[in-house]
Structure 1
């Protein structure tokens, strides 16, 4: 989805609605009280979350985008656990019951995995030159400069305390963020 202003609001809304579409298709299994919650969580991780995070590796997410995704995720998780917000059960407790990590962590993992792919490409590759170069003679507008994908990745690497070289090494990166091998 491309917007005139270059923002990803429409894409976020579209991905959330795609997640809810998958949810509705699987609601028979997810709302069945006879199905264990861990199995529901596994189904959520394999069918619904990928629909919500499709294409997320190149998103420049703002706090409100992450908030929208996490709100939609928690609504789904609470629903198939049979709880409402009125029950006052903490999000962490529900995540532990179903075995689902926060969607923000998965978003960062997707972005860092894509960063590793881009960094391993040769420097003349179109994806690398298009992503990593910035125009020198571009007149800047007023106010704060727009967030770039590079700055987002740098923030993620710093936040997770991962060296740039480590992000390029696929097997070491998986160990650093505790991702199981495929």
Structure 2
């Protein structure tokens, strides 16, 4: 377990604070984690009865949950700072701006803002996140609520 936590997990989660995880990617991370734990033989066979047995993988951490936990504190605090910036700043214009031109065919990709709105919706907060972020104390409380929502 120590090798898994100190070597494998940091390599897999490198840069995860910028990820936008889809359900498919979360599933792929879970499959990867199961495979690694089996290879490291951190699996236990549980005998429920003589004829029935079950393979239980000991989960020190869940990779996909760790990625969400790492992303939330950094990204949500950062978006609060950007929302409070002056409208002429480049970072603020990129975050709230609408690009011109044609978009590619198909369903639009999930954006950082979409993840933020979903996280706010999951804790029961609706409304414009830019207006919510103007109040630092309330925004900090919302970020803490979103972080507590992700604790496995």
TM-score normalised by length of structure 2 = 0.61
Counterpart in the other structure of 2:98: 135
Q: Aligned partners of 1:167, 1:49: CA distance in 2, in Å?
A: 33
| 1:110 shift after superposition | 2.0
**2:135 aligned with 1:169, yes or no?**
no
Q: In structure 2, how many angstroms separate the alpha carbons of the residues matched to 1:83 and 1:136?
A: 49
Mapped to 1, the partners of 2:18 and 2:119 lie a distance apart of 13
CA contact (8 A) 1:116 1:170 kept: no
Task: Give the structure 1 partner of residue 74 of structure 2.
Answer: 114
- Given that 1:112 and 1:156 are in contact with CA atoms closer than 8 Å, whether structure 2 keeps it comes out as no
TM-score scaled to structure 1, two decimals?
A: 0.53
- Residues 178 and 144 (structure 1), Cα distance of their counterparts in 2 relative to 1, 3 Å cut: closer
Supply the distance in 1 between the matched residues of 2:142 and 2:33 (Cα, whole angstroms): 29
Partner of 1:89: 55
Structure with more strand by fraction: 2
Aligned residues: 130
Consecutive unaligned residues in structure 2, runs of 5 or more: 46-52
C-alpha displacement of 1:136:
4.9
Point out the structure with the larger helix share: 1
Task: Tell which structure's C-alpha radius of gyration is larger.
Answer: 2
Query: Structure 1 pair 90/74, CA: closer, same or farther in 2 (3 Å)?
Result: same
Larger relative contact order, structure 1 or 2 (CA cutoff 8 Å, min sep 6): 2
How far is 1:173 from its partner? 1.3
Where does residue 117 of structure 2 map in the other structure? 154
Partners of 1:171 and 1:136 in 2: how far apart?
Answer: 29
CA distance in 2: counterparts of 1:149 and 1:172, whole angstroms = 15
1-side partners of 2:6 and 2:138: how far apart? Answer: 24
CA-to-aligned-CA distance 1:134-173 (integer Å, 9 cap, x gap): 42533334432222111123223434x2756689428971
